[in-house]
């Protein structure tokens, strides 16, 4: 065995190792205090700060640490080592709460987080590893888009860069959370847009082109903050979860936790309040979120896209430690009707749950599909039908719970197309089910009879009488008596019933990820 080379007498380390350690020190934030100070002054954090906060201490296995920008024809080596660290991206493998993940972060300290050619190559290498190892991934995506100033790698269009195709190809294979806490334009925005879920803060501005591209296209001067501000991106459904500045890392960790498996420790709220949670009168609106939070394990619920199509609530939570997806009508908006946007929102959420093995709970209180010329102009016929098509493809169990109104095609869509589509369909005692709203059914079905009553007061009294009779006929108990639903239950039993159905599905292998493509919208 050959003798080892002598170590440095002064440091106890060989010169080659000292060289590596010195170069490594140049990649750390401490080596560029002025740039870090500027980033902090504008309210941001560095890539390494974000990554360090996300992962378990000391768990990062970094890729491409020593890469610099492909700009030797324009910059000195000293300048490249100082100002183009990592070519603007930090990434590698790590753990979160001891569970294996991958993390990437564009580095706003390096040319505003723009995407360089070597940075793309680094990203491609790591995406390949993520694919091979099946790692859930968090990507801090903020940055200014593609960088046209690299000189060392011959290119004309640059359109052969495989990063976007590789990242998109991970759809349904591994969970991917994108975090946007700053300007995020062009290629960086595509990274966010291809992700399964997007977390963003008020500092974020998302757009397929930044101010320079907008001006270059002859569209005028626009401030970066005005391109795609958070309030726009939450209302239009691009952002899944908006959080305060500084909370984005915790939010990403929490969201990723849903994809990392069963939780053994959980607590449940008292279920008794569910007995009075739904108003008796059909015209009284109420907040559905407290019902979802009561049914799920305490502190486990995250509502997604709350400002987009608010008439349809989508949320992730846990029941007895097992992740579930919840779709629910919110009667405070459009009376809980299924709109075109609600169809988009619910269908995409169903795809998400099916791709990653989350059982789905549907809480139904809807008057049906939205109707009228204005609704039809939104593409309702196609977009509302997306929910039916999405539910027809799922392998995870769907459990339907009719809380109050289960009317028409809207109720059928919420139940996957039929009361027989879920593995279990139950109703609360307050529920009524029918082909349309009951009073409307009376006025339509008894139109000639009512028209023959000349006195308006007498006619309206007759409407109330007929509606009451139809309510009795459409009551949950009568529907169950005709075997059109599986049971009518005490609301306090709902959580336990769902838990037992999910346990049966888990035993049958239906709560495993399917590795199926996931619709981004």
Q: Name the packing angle between helices 248-258 and 47-54 (round to 10°).
A: 40
- Average the pLDDT over 282-310 and give the result: 97
Q: Provide the pLDDT for residue 9.
A: 47
28 domain residue, yes or no:
yes
Segment among 29-38, 359-368, 438-447, 474-483 with least mean pLDDT? 438-447
Are both 224 and 333 inside the same structural domain?
Answer: no
pLDDT classification of 469: cutoffs 50, 70, 90: low
111 domain residue, yes or no:
yes
Name the 3-class secondary structure at 327. strand
Burial zone of 447 (CB within 10 Å; 0-12 exposed, 13-18 middle, 19+ buried) = exposed
22 domain residue, yes or no:
yes
Are both 354 and 391 inside the same structural domain?
Answer: yes
What integer best gives the mean pLDDT of the chain? 91
Q: Across the strands, what pairs with 184?
A: 143, 206
Are both 451 and 354 inside the same structural domain?
Answer: no
Structure tokens at 33: 């205090």
Cβ atoms of 103 and 51 closer than 8 Å: yes
Q: Is the pLDDT of residue 5 over 80?
A: no
Are both 308 and 389 inside the same structural domain?
Answer: yes
What 8-state DSSP symbol labels residue 76?
A: -
- Average the pLDDT over 350-373 and give the result: 96
Segment among 72-81, 82-91, 320-329, 364-373 with least mean pLDDT? 72-81
pLDDT classification of 470: cutoffs 50, 70, 90: low
Residue 165: CB partners within 8 Å, gap ≥ 6?
none
Are both 298 and 416 inside the same structural domain?
Answer: yes
- How far the first Cα of the chain sits from its last, in Å, is 62
Q: Provide the pLDDT for residue 160.
A: 84
Residue 227: CB partners within 8 Å, gap ≥ 6?
183, 185, 205, 206, 207, 209, 210, 211, 214
Are both 386 and 443 inside the same structural domain?
Answer: no
Backbone angles phi, psi at 369, to 5 degrees: -70, 145
Q: Which of 2, 86, 19 has the alpha carbon at shortest distance from 47? A: 86
Q: Is the pLDDT of residue 1 over 80?
A: no
5 domain residue, yes or no:
no
- Average the pLDDT over 249-267 and give the result: 96
Name the 3-class secondary structure at 394. coil
CATH code for position 368: 3.90.226.10
Q: Is the pLDDT of residue 311 over 50?
A: yes
Are both 198 and 106 inside the same structural domain?
Answer: yes
User: What share of the chain has pLDDT > 70, as a percent?
Assistant: 92
305 domain residue, yes or no:
yes
Q: Which of 98, 501, 97 has the alpha carbon at shortest distance from 320? A: 501
Q: Is the pLDDT of residue 33 over 50?
A: yes
Cβ atoms of 61 and 85 closer than 8 Å: no
Q: Is the pLDDT of residue 123 over 70?
A: yes
Tokens 């809207």 sit at which residue?
Answer: 410
Cβ atoms of 32 and 109 closer than 8 Å: yes
The shares of helix, strand and coil residues in the chain, as percent rounded to the nearest 5, are 40, 20, 40
Q: Provide the pLDDT for residue 441.
A: 62
Are both 412 and 449 inside the same structural domain?
Answer: no
Are both 293 and 253 inside the same structural domain?
Answer: no
Q: Across the strands, what pairs with 9?
A: none
Residue-wise pLDDT for 149-182, tens only, equals 777 777 777 788 899 999 999 999 999 999 999 9
Residue-wise pLDDT for 393-438, tens only, equals 999 999 999 999 999 999 999 999 999 999 999 999 999 998 766 5
Are both 459 and 390 inside the same structural domain?
Answer: no
Q: Which domain holds residue 336?
A: 272-431+479-507
10 domain residue, yes or no:
no
Residue-wise pLDDT for 449-464, tens only, equals 667 767 777 676 776 7
Are both 37 and 164 inside the same structural domain?
Answer: yes
Burial zone of 347 (CB within 10 Å; 0-12 exposed, 13-18 middle, 19+ buried) = buried
Question: How far is Cα 126 from Cα 131, in angstroms, rounded to an integer?
Answer: 9
1 domain residue, yes or no:
no
Tally of CA atoms within 13 A in the half-sphere of 223 that contains its CB: 4
Helix or strand holding residue 319 (H, E): strand 312-319
514 domain residue, yes or no:
no
pLDDT classification of 317: cutoffs 50, 70, 90: very high
Helix or strand holding residue 293 (H, E): helix 289-295
Structure tokens at 170: 């991970």
Are both 62 and 89 inside the same structural domain?
Answer: yes
User: What share of the chain has pLDDT > 90, as a percent?
Assistant: 70
- For the chain, the domain total comes to 3
According to the 3-state scheme, what is the secondary structure of 425-446? EEECCCCEEECCCHHHHHHHHC
């Amino acid at each position: 065995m050959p003798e080892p080379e002598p170590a440095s007498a002064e440091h106890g380390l060989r010169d080659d190792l000292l060289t590596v350690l010195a170069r490594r020190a140049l990649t750390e934030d401490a080596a560029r205090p002025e740039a870090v100070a500027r980033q902090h002054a504008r309210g941001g954090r560095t890539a390494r700060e974000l990554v360090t906060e996300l992962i378990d201490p000391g768990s990062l296995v970094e890729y491409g640490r020593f890469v610099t920008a492909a700009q030797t024809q324009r910059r000195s080596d000293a300048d490249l080592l100082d100002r183009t660290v990592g070519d603007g991206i930090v990434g590698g493998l790590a753990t979160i709460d001891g569970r294996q993940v991958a993390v990437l972060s564009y580095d706003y300290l390096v040319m505003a987080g723009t995407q360089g050619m070597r940075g793309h190559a680094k990203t491609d290498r790591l995406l390949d590893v993520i694919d091979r190892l099946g790692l859930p991934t968090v990507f801090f995506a903020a940055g200014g888009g593609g960088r046209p100033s690299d000189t060392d790698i011959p290119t004309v269009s640059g359109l052969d860069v495989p990063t976007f195709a590789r990242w998109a190809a991970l759809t349904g294979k591994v969970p991917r959370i994108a975090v946007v806490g700053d300007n995020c334009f062009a290629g960086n925005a595509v990274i966010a847009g291809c992700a399964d879920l997007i977390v963003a803060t008020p500092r974020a501005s998302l757009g397929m082109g930044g101010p320079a591209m907008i001006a270059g296209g002859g569209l005028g001067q626009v401030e970066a903050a005005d391109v795609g501000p958070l309030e726009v991106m939450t209302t239009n459904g691009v952002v899944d979860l908006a959080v305060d500045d500084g909370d984005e890392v915790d939010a990403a960790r929490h969201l990723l936790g849903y994809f990392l498996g069963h939780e053994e420790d959980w607590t449940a709220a008292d279920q008794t309040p569910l007995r009075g949670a739904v108003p008796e009168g059909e015209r009284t609106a109420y907040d559905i979120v407290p019902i979802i939070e009561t049914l799920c394990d305490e502190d486990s619920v995250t509502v997604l896209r709350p400002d987009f199509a608010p008439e349809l609530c989508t949320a992730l939570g846990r029941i007895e430690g097992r992740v579930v997806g919840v779709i629910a009508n919110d009667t405070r908006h459009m009376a809980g009707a299924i709109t075109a946007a609600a169809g988009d929102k619910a269908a995409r959420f169903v795809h998400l749950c099916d791709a990653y093995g989350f059982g789905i709970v549907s809480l139904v209180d809807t008057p049906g599909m939205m109707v009228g010329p204005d609704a039809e102009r939104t593409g309702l016929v196609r977009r509302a039908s997306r929910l039916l098509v999405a539910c027809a493809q799922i392998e995870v169990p769907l459990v339907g719970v009719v809380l109050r109104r289960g009317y028409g095609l809207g109720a059928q869509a919420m139940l996957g197309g039929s009361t027989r589509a879920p593995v279990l369909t139950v109703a609360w005692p307050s529920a009524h089910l029918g082909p349309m709203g009951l009073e409307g059914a009376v006025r339509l079905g008894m139109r000639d009879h009512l028209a023959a009553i000349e006195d308006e007061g007498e006619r309206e009294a007759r409407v109330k009488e007929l509606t009451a009779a139809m309510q009795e006929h459409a009551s949950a108990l009568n529907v169950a008596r005709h075997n059109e639903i599986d049971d009518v239950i005490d609301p306090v039993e709902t959580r336990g019933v769902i838990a037992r159905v999910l346990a049966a599905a888990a035993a049958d292998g239906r709560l495993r990820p399917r590795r199926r493509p996931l619709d981004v919208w």
